[in-house]
Chains A and B, each alone.
Chain A
Amino acid sequence: MTDEAAVPVFADGAKFRFDRVRDSWVVLAPERLFVPDAHAVEILRLIDGQRSLGAIVDALAARFEAPRDVLARDVADMLHDLADRGAIRL
């Protein structure tokens, strides 16, 4: 399990931005395009190079009615997946 003190950041060369043509958020990385779903967008918008994984989970738990441990697992899974694909550093 990931240490909740870890501070996730976008990897060098990864960009998270809104695409007006497709009306959706996108993560752009070398030869990669990720289109995060609404849930993932909420997580990615909390990545600011300051917040730890735990702080991101806390922020989500304050806004959404879901058990904290479930949120924590979802956030860790999503960020690990993007880390394996080169868009996030954990």
Chain B
Amino acid sequence: MTRDRPEPPLALVAELTHRCPLQCPYCANPVALARASSELDTESWLRVFDEAASLGVLHLHVSGGEPTVRGDLATLVRAAAALGMYSNLITSGVLLDAARLQALAEAGLDHVQLSLQDMEPGDADRIGGFAGGHAVKLAVARQVRAAGLALTLNFVVHRQNLERLPAMIALGETLGAGRIEIAHVQYYGWGLLNRDALLPTRAQLDAATTAVEAARMRLRGQVVIDYVVPDYYAARPKACMGGWGRRIMTVTPAGRALPCHAAEGLPGLVFPSVREMPLAAIWQDAPAFARFRGTDWMAEPCRSCDQREIDWGGCRCQAFLLTGDAARTDPACAKAPDHAMVLAATAASAAAPPSYVYRGDRRTRENVR
């Protein structure tokens, strides 16, 4: 190994599709979605998985969109298992049933991460824009465990459901989840459009943190609870993706390789296609992966900060979305010159929230463009 060569990635996020029956207003997909006809075919994904395993990828996150819309899912999972990769299906669950889960378990799937939008069926279905979805998800959670698969319940939280966090944890316990992930909405794409409707208040957040700490004590050794304070309220930014081009690689439905699922929104970067370049060459040589890797790209206050190899300057996409410059310090950081923007957003959360803008809403799409 040469000194300059980056450490191999630990994880590959395979976004099999952007198609999804849900329409959550905080969707992490780009506002312009890839069409089904531009998706990588089975053979291409099999080659990508093969290259990923050789490169050193240990965790494979099968994601989307909704990955279960793909008819070749079991074939892809079987290939990942044969390569020794740990496979994690990230799903809304609404297209799954007992037979399909059994087939995926037999194919070697290691883990299912099932997202729930809320506790109350009416509110959950309103967020997802999918009638009856919540009830299906609860049934699917039980079917996941019945198929012998490990389960994470992922609750997406925000100001309109954060009070229900203790009930969410109790539900995870009841459904046999080994891990519960409480994920605050992040403010990119659809989430940023809906930020004023979603950003919790400081008081909500403090109550949530207290509830998580109590549940962690109670469930120690039985259920792992992952919970991170949203970066808008933290003094330091998150180590987004564990650092740009350090841990994780994402491949989009159309085959673009990205250091982060939202990176296509950054201007001036050319993301290679896995149709044209091997994964190893992309990881090691692509200028877009080198652009924000490590600390050399940093300006002040990051450059001399003692946290620079802990948070890696925060999130490049957030820096760009809020300031127009992807190379600036993430405004979530209290030391950032642009931190006032984040403080203004949290201060505004004291006011009543506006209504949601939905993915799939034509009026919205025109506004976005």
Mark A residues whose CB is within 8 Å of B: 11-15, 17, 19, 21-22, 26, 28, 30-31, 33, 80, 83-86, 90
Known pairs A19-B58, A33-B10. 14 more at Cβ < 8 A?
A12-B150, A13-B110, A13-B111, A13-B149, A15-B86, A21-B54, A22-B8, A28-B86, A28-B110, A30-B88, A30-B152, A31-B152, A86-B224, A90-B221
Tell me whether A15 and B220 are in contact (CB under 8 A). no
A26-B58 in contact given A13-B111, A13-B150, A17-B84 (Cβ < 8 Å)? yes
1/0 per residue B71-97: CB within 8 Å of A? 000000000000010101000000000
Of the candidates B56, B178, B220, B226, the one whose C-beta lies within 8 Å of that of A12 is: B178
Asked if B178 and A86 make an inter-chain contact with CB atoms under 8 angstroms apart, the answer reads: yes
Chain A neighbourhood of B59, CB < 8 A: 28, 31, 33
Q: Which residues of B contact A86 (CB under 8 A)?
A: 178-179, 223-224
B58 touching A11 by the CB < 8 A rule? no
22 residue pairs A–B, Cβ–Cβ below 8 Å: A11-B178, A12-B149, A12-B150, A13-B150, A13-B151, A14-B150, A15-B110, A19-B56, A21-B54, A28-B58, A28-B86, A30-B88, A30-B113, A30-B150, A30-B178, A30-B179, A31-B226, A33-B10, A33-B59, A83-B221, A86-B179, A86-B223
B221 touches A84 (CB 8 A): yes
Q: Which residues of B contact A90 (CB under 8 A)?
A: 221
Assess A31 versus B179: contact at CB under 8 Å? Given A13-B111, A26-B58. yes
| Closest residue on chain A to residue B54 by CB atoms | A21
Answer whether residue B20 sits at the interface, using C-beta atoms and an 8 A cutoff: no
Does any Cβ of A come within 8 Å of B193's Cβ? no
Q: Which 5 A-B pairs have the closest CB atoms?
A: A13-B150, A21-B56, A86-B224, A12-B150, A28-B86
Q: Nearest Cβ distance between residue A45 and chain B, in whole angstroms?
A: 17
Which chain B residue lies CB-closest to A32?
B224
CA A43 to CA B242, docked complex, whole Å? 29
Most chain A Cβ neighbours within 10 Å, of B54, B113, B178: B178
Cross-chain contact B150 with A11 (CB below 8 angstroms):
yes
Place the interface of chain B in its size category. 20 to 34
Q: Which residue of B lies closest to A19 (CB)?
A: B58
Nearest residue (CB) in A for B225 is: A86
Q: Is B46 an interface residue (CB 8 A)?
A: no
Within 8 A of A (CB), among B35-53: none
Is B127 at the interface (CB under 8 A from chain A)?
no
- CB of B232 to closest CB in A, whole Å: 22
List, in ascending order, chain B residues with CB within 8 A of A80's CB.
221
Cα–Cα distance between A26 and B54 once the two chains are bound (Å) = 16
B266 at the interface (CB under 8 A from A): no
B181 neighbours in A (Cβ, 8 Å):
31
Hey, which chain A residues are within 8 Å of B178, CB to CB? 11-13, 30, 86
Chain B residues within 8 Å of A31, by CB: 59, 88, 152, 179, 181, 226
CA distance A85 to B113 in the complex (A): 17
Q: Give every chain B residue within 8 A of A12 (Cβ-Cβ).
A: 148-150, 178
Whole-angstrom distance from the CB of A76 to the nearest CB of chain B? 13
Whole-angstrom CA separation of A33 from B179 in the bound complex? 14
Tell me whether A21 and B150 are in contact in the complex, defined as CB-CB below 8 angstroms, given that A15-B110, A30-B179, A31-B179 are known contacts: no
Question: B262 contacts the other chain (Cβ, under 8 Å)?
Answer: no
User: Within the assembled complex, what's the spacing in Å between the Cα atoms of A13 and B179?
Assistant: 10
Q: Which residue of B lies closest to A83 (CB)?
A: B221
CB neighbours (8 Å) of A85 from chain B are 224
Q: How far is the CA of A19 from the CA of B56 in the complex (A)?
A: 8
| Interface membership of B239, Cβ < 8 A | no
The distance from the CB of A78 to the nearest CB of chain B, in whole angstroms, is 14
B103 contacts the other chain (Cβ, under 8 Å)? no
Smallest Cβ distance from B267 to chain A, in angstroms? 31
Nearest CB on B from A88, distance (A)? 9
A17 and B58 CA atoms in complex are apart in Å by 10
A13 and B84 alpha carbons, distance in the complex (Å) = 14
Instruction: A85 to B178: give the CA distance in the assembly, Å.
Output: 10
- The verdict on A21 contacting B55 (CB below 8 Å), with A13-B178, A30-B88 known, is yes
